[in-house]
A and B are shown apart, each in its own frame.
Chain A
Amino acid sequence: MSSISFSFDDKIYTGNPGEPMAAALLRNGLLHFTNSTYHGRPRAVIGLGVEEPNALVQLLTGTKESMRPATVIELVEGIAARSLTGVGSLPEEPDKARYDKTNRYVDTLVIGAGLAGLAAADEALRAGREVLMIDDQPGPGGHLRHLGQNVPSHLQEILKHTNLTYLCRCTATGLYDQNYVVAIERRSEHLGNVVPANRSQIRVWHIRADQVVLATGAFQRPLLFANNDRPGIMLSHAAATYVAHYSVKIFSVAVVVTVDNQGYRDALRLHRAGVKVQGVYDARSAANGPSVDSVKAAGIPVHFRSTVLDTASNAEGILQSVTIQNLDTNKIFQTEADLLAVSGGWTPIADLATHIGIKPQWSEEHSAFLVNHVTSQLRTVGMLAGDFGGDDDPAVFFGPVLDSEQARSAYIDLQRDSTLHDLRRGIGAGLHSIEHIKRYTTIGTAHDQGKTSGMLTIGALCQLNADGKPILSPNDVGTLSFRPPYVPVPFAALAGRERGTLSDPIRVTALHQWHIEHGAVFEDVGQWKRPWYFPKPGEKMEDAVIRECLAAREGVAVMDASTLGKIDIQGPDAAIFLDRIYTNMFSTLPEGQCRYGLMCKADGMVFDDGVTTRLGKNHFLMTTTTGGAARVLAWLEEWLQTEWPELKVYCTSVTEHIATIALVGPKSRQLLQELVTGIDLSKEVFPFMHSRETSIDGIPVRIARISFSGELAFEINVTWSYARHIWERLWTIGLTYGLTAYGTETMHVLRAEKGYAIIGQDTDGTQTPYDLNMSWIVSKKKEFIGKRSFKLPWLQAAGRQQLVGLLPDNDEDIIPEGAYITSFNASPDDSGKTPHIGFVTSAYYSPALRRSFALALVAGGLDRMSEKVNLPIGGKVLSATICDAVFIDKENLRRD
């Protein structure tokens, strides 16, 4: 294997491609990796994988991702990183990498490709099941990889099975209800500079499996003693792996402290790799098994009932000696060592199981929390289920008794610099629950989420909460709640392809391209892009809107109203149905005519509005607000399906099928008549709120005399495919009429001048029709949804917010929408606050009135006509007068 070079903290190192950055740095002699976050103490690598609390880096190449443990970064040529003291930073420039997401359904999902996972996959494959096996390592084998051993050949075979998908570098981050698993697959980082074009950096997998097998393995846990954080102190399995597998030759004398047989196995590996093992100190009173025998046979001294109490360092803070305590005699002695390998037992990785509420159970026999779960949907195997293999005989031991001084340097959470002293203070403050202790001490809240510190905390609480009585069982203390994600996940990965323009749907009408070509400035209306205004070169928004408004009031103007929701309603009971839905009557509407309708929820609050046309005896075309289209259709369906199944009515959305063009202004009739030869548009033949079917250039259109501005106006309905043609024809003929395209801002000014409320802008879901001064639309003759609520005393009470007009005393003042309204000359109350009586819902400059005006919801507003009010805005207080909401053409003379 040829070596490659990489950079760390601005120095060039060499390493083997694919090995962990931590291994290469150790082999290069870099032990003092960083300093701790809060106490500034020297720290080194202690672990082998995602459990690593110390060795955090920021990548300086590729995605420049931060807070990554050096133990999981695979070396590639040219990779650069710098050490972190537990605080990362985000790169300044946007992440250019691709991130994607996919969905997968499988019979069996196996999480973990160690021996247990491989065996489970084998079993499922033999049963004829399709299997997805995911694992966070670069290859299969789990801890065999640390031992440099190959997967047994019969399990190697299954990797070629056609029913198996095996994803390496893929970490399950969450297990959710009904076997839903989210996993992140790192697909590109290990390829360095040879990433294929368009390959994603990280792929998020959303997996639904009939059966999930958790084969997640275990982390080795540390021990708690004074000065347990010095460089040179490592988990024994990590130490043995770095020395024996990754040829790290920086240690000469090792002390091994253990509570299980793993310490013996690791002592042997260190010994065989040439490290002098000064002794194995075992907290148990005896130990048996092949590994113990082998250690003894190798001549390594073994001491029972002994453990580490403290350590000392050289001037650089690196481990120099270890203080050993005899647990029976309490005698202590010091011994020189540059490596202290500790084995505190195994902590099976229960995170995913706890995500769905499974509580791990303490096993005295294993000295560990296990999850033994076997149902047809979810099964645990391997170490998580208590299958520790080997010759293990672990003890329940959480470290020696430490005095208060020793406790200050006994680090439980290395990343958070939280010590036994901090934990004791928490207990002293009256906290007992592990959840409270966690929040008090911040233990388990760093990037590693307590992967090594969790069990130390539980162990310490077993001792401290005992309160003089015998030590508690970990079952009484309980585990911390693990929550997804199991490992940190970059936000970019979670966003996936939903970035930029794909972050949310953008809806466009059939005429969108025309709007772009004609310089429209767009406004987001829900997901729709609607032309806001059409500025001419050099025009500001105010100028454009004034020009557009004047064209509509004095000439002719055209708007794309296609975003209105449209629902085709058919059936013998359609008219009865609409009578129940709308507050006003529709069964009396003659064919070929239109009527404005208002609908309420059962609580009497206005919900949506729009014009509905009766196309035939049993056939209506309803329009809804732009934002209400889906809501209203769902509302209609809900009543038909769940309350009135006897009604013979079908509703069909035709929102996109039909484009709507509004032609507005005194000259609109004359212009349109040039195009429409089949019907007479004169007011005598084609009255207001009537609808006609005809054609333009042979294209079927429906024309209705509907006005949302108070002006003479026509709405032309045409299918999506022909909308552009009709619009272009109007535009060409309109040249001689000064036809002006207008956008939503002008539409708002025009409708507000007429006092037409926009549901959702001038209402907030707490207004009845009465509050909108629309008692005329509430039928007394029939039942409809919401009617009963109008009789409720609190909906009839005085002081409800009601829609009124507002004229600022200074006719240049445009009041910001949302501005609060107070009584005139109101003064602060006892609490120093000035009570408000309402707020402004719409405010514009009216070119027709040549002044500013507004709509507002004001408490008891309809009884406050001509009352002066104040509007505190920033440092200023404006004044205005309440008036009727209709500002223009109260007599409705203009629409004909």
Chain B
Amino acid sequence: MITIESPLKGISTGTTATVLLRELPGLHTLDLRVAPGSTAATEVTRALSMDLPQKPGQIQNRSTPGRDEAYALCLAPDWWLIVGYPEGLERLNSLKEQFHFSAVDVSGQRTTVELEGPNAREVLAHLWEQDLREKSFPVGSVSQGLMAKATVIVCRMDPFRYRVMVRSSFALHVWQALVDAAKEWI
């Protein structure tokens, strides 16, 4: 039998009455680089049948808003992560010869920790130096930065639900920091 390992082995703690922290293991992630506005970008979008958010900091869901099975995060003008879309890479293969872009499976590069509950924002604020106010970080926002000295990506999925994407090697460290930050609530 083949065991698929995740950096945090699917751990969880807390409750949604205050804050629930849990690893979402094995989210497929595609790292996409393509020049915005280029023919390549148009072709990539068409092949994926998915609109790419145009501004760094935005999240675009592939299907209906509110479903987060497949979504794209814009991290820089020419840089996206596409989460939960394993067939995406294959759909792009035929474009490789003709267009200049880069699509790399980076599923093992990071894992995802979800924080859910009314105190989720407060827990995040303990470790996250960026502005989490509604006007600065509404639902559908994504941002990269430092959490407990590790580079992470924070996504706001719902009003009280956030995802922290952390490099696999740093996952245990960031998890421990999050649990420490949540101690007054869990």
The reply to whether A206 and B129 form a contact with Cβ atoms under 8 Å apart is: yes
> In B1-42, which residues have CB < 8 Å from any A CB?
2-7, 26, 31, 33
A-B residue pair count with CB separations less than 8 angstroms: 122
The reply to whether B176 and A650 form a contact with Cβ atoms under 8 Å apart is: no
Q: Chain A 698-724, CB within 8 Å of chain B: the 1/0 string?
A: 110000000000000000000111111
The reply to whether A198 and B31 form a contact with Cβ atoms under 8 Å apart is: no
A719 CB, min distance to chain B CBs, angstroms: 4
Query: Which residues of chain A are near B149, meaning CB under 8 Å?
Result: 504-505
The reply to whether B177 and A656 form a contact with Cβ atoms under 8 Å apart is: no
Q: B136: CB under 8 A from chain A?
A: yes
The reply to whether B33 and A505 form a contact with Cβ atoms under 8 Å apart is: no
Selected from B101, B128, B167, the residue in CB contact (under 8 A) with A656 is: B167
Selected from A199, A206, A698, the residue in CB contact (under 8 A) with B184 is: A199
The reply to whether B128 and A720 form a contact with Cβ atoms under 8 Å apart is: no
The reply to whether B125 and A104 form a contact with Cβ atoms under 8 Å apart is: yes
Selected from A100, A101, A196, A571, the residue in CB contact (under 8 A) with B102 is: A571
Q: A570: CB under 8 A from chain B?
A: yes
A624 CB, min distance to chain B CBs, angstroms: 15
Query: Which residues of chain B are near A104, meaning CB under 8 Å?
Result: 125
* Interface of A, helix, strand, loop or mixed by DSSP: mixed
The reply to whether B7 and A724 form a contact with Cβ atoms under 8 Å apart is: no
Q: Chain B 111-127, CB within 8 Å of chain A: the 1/0 string?
A: 00000000000100110
Q: B172: CB under 8 A from chain A?
A: yes
The reply to whether B109 and A656 form a contact with Cβ atoms under 8 Å apart is: yes
Selected from B100, B109, B136, B170, the residue in CB contact (under 8 A) with A653 is: B109
Q: Chain A: which residue is nearest B129 at the CB level?
A: A103
Q: B183: CB under 8 A from chain A?
A: yes
The reply to whether B173 and A506 form a contact with Cβ atoms under 8 Å apart is: yes
The reply to whether A101 and B126 form a contact with Cβ atoms under 8 Å apart is: yes
Q: A510: CB under 8 A from chain B?
A: yes
Query: Which residues of chain A are near B51, meaning CB under 8 Å?
Result: none
Q: A109: CB under 8 A from chain B?
A: no
The reply to whether A656 and B108 form a contact with Cβ atoms under 8 Å apart is: yes
Q: A518: CB under 8 A from chain B?
A: no
Q: Beyond A502-B148, A652-B33, A720-B7, is A657–B180 a contact (Cβ under 8 Å)?
A: no
Q: B168: CB under 8 A from chain A?
A: yes
Query: Which residues of chain B are near A659, meaning CB under 8 Å?
Result: 108
Query: Which residues of chain B are near A568, meaning CB under 8 Å?
Result: 102, 104
The reply to whether A507 and B129 form a contact with Cβ atoms under 8 Å apart is: no
> In B128-148, which residues have CB < 8 Å from any A CB?
128-133, 136, 148
The reply to whether B105 and A657 form a contact with Cβ atoms under 8 Å apart is: yes
Query: Which residues of chain A are near B136, meaning CB under 8 Å?
Result: 105
How far apart sit A506 and B171, CA to CA, in the bound complex (Å)? 9
Q: A831: CB under 8 A from chain B?
A: no
The reply to whether B3 and A724 form a contact with Cβ atoms under 8 Å apart is: yes
The reply to whether B125 and A721 form a contact with Cβ atoms under 8 Å apart is: no
How far apart sit A468 and B158, CA to CA, in the bound complex (Å)? 74
Q: B150: CB under 8 A from chain A?
A: yes
The reply to whether B126 and A719 form a contact with Cβ atoms under 8 Å apart is: no
Q: Chain A: which residue is nearest B172 at the CB level?
A: A508
- Per the CB 8 Å criterion, the residue count for chain A at the interface is 50
A795 CB, min distance to chain B CBs, angstroms: 36
The reply to whether A697 and B2 form a contact with Cβ atoms under 8 Å apart is: yes
How far apart sit A498 and B148, CA to CA, in the bound complex (Å)? 8
Query: Which residues of chain B are near A724, meaning CB under 8 Å?
Result: 3, 5
Most buried by B among A98, A104, A650, A697: A650
Q: B106: CB under 8 A from chain A?
A: yes
Q: A692: CB under 8 A from chain B?
A: no
B110 CB, min distance to chain A CBs, angstroms: 7
Q: Beyond A103-B129, A650-B33, is A657–B169 a contact (Cβ under 8 Å)?
A: no
How far apart sit A697 and B2, CA to CA, in the bound complex (Å)? 8
B137 CB, min distance to chain A CBs, angstroms: 10
Q: Beyond A505-B149, A510-B168, A656-B169, is A723–B5 a contact (Cβ under 8 Å)?
A: yes
How far apart sit A720 and B29, CA to CA, in the bound complex (Å)? 13
How far apart sit A61 and B177, CA to CA, in the bound complex (Å)? 28
Q: B181: CB under 8 A from chain A?
A: yes
Q: Beyond A502-B180, A505-B149, is A648–B100 a contact (Cβ under 8 Å)?
A: yes
How far apart sit A223 and B40, CA to CA, in the bound complex (Å)? 78
Q: B107: CB under 8 A from chain A?
A: yes
The reply to whether A725 and B104 form a contact with Cβ atoms under 8 Å apart is: no
How far apart sit A508 and B150, CA to CA, in the bound complex (Å)? 13
How far apart sit A697 and B126, CA to CA, in the bound complex (Å)? 44
Query: Which residues of chain A are near B107, meaning CB under 8 Å?
Result: 657, 719, 721
Selected from A208, A572, A653, the residue in CB contact (under 8 A) with B131 is: A208
How far apart sit A721 and B108, CA to CA, in the bound complex (Å)? 7
Q: Chain B: which residue is nearest A106 at the CB level?
A: B133
Most buried by B among A498, A698, A720, A723: A720
Selected from B6, B105, B125, B148, the residue in CB contact (under 8 A) with A505 is: B148
Query: Which residues of chain A are near B172, meaning CB under 8 Å?
Result: 506, 508
How far apart sit A724 and B4, CA to CA, in the bound complex (Å)? 8
Query: Which residues of chain B are near A501, meaning CB under 8 Å?
Result: 173, 176
The reply to whether A105 and B102 form a contact with Cβ atoms under 8 Å apart is: no
Query: Which residues of chain B are near A698, meaning CB under 8 Å?
Result: 2
B135 CB, min distance to chain A CBs, angstroms: 9
Query: Which residues of chain A are near B167, meaning CB under 8 Å?
Result: 507, 655-656
How far apart sit A698 and B5, CA to CA, in the bound complex (Å)? 16
> In B157-186, which residues have CB < 8 Å from any A CB?
167-170, 172-174, 176-177, 180-181, 183-184
Query: Which residues of chain A are near B4, meaning CB under 8 Å?
Result: 721-722
Query: Which residues of chain A are near B102, meaning CB under 8 Å?
Result: 568, 570-571, 650, 652
A419 CB, min distance to chain B CBs, angstroms: 46
Query: Which residues of chain A are near B180, meaning CB under 8 Å?
Result: 100, 497, 502
Query: Which residues of chain A are near B174, meaning CB under 8 Å?
Result: 505
B168 CB, min distance to chain A CBs, angstroms: 4
Q: A402: CB under 8 A from chain B?
A: no
Q: Chain A 494-523, CB within 8 Å of chain B: the 1/0 string?
A: 000110011011111110000000000000
Query: Which residues of chain B are near A648, meaning CB under 8 Å?
Result: 100
Selected from A100, A130, A196, A650, the residue in CB contact (under 8 A) with B181 is: A100
> In A182-229, which residues have CB < 8 Å from any B CB?
196, 198-200, 206, 208
Query: Which residues of chain B are near A98, meaning CB under 8 Å?
Result: 183
Instruction: Identify 14 new A-B residue pairs, CB closer than 8 A, beyond the known A208-B131, A505-B174, A721-B26.
Output: A102-B122, A103-B128, A130-B133, A198-B184, A199-B184, A501-B176, A502-B148, A502-B180, A507-B169, A507-B173, A652-B33, A699-B2, A724-B5, A725-B2
Q: Which residues of A contact B (CB under 8 A)?
A: 98, 100-105, 130, 196, 198-200, 206, 208, 497-498, 501-502, 504-510, 528, 568, 570-572, 648, 650, 652-659, 697-699, 719-725
Q: Which 5 A-B pairs have the closest CB atoms?
A: A720-B108, A650-B102, A507-B169, A650-B33, A657-B108
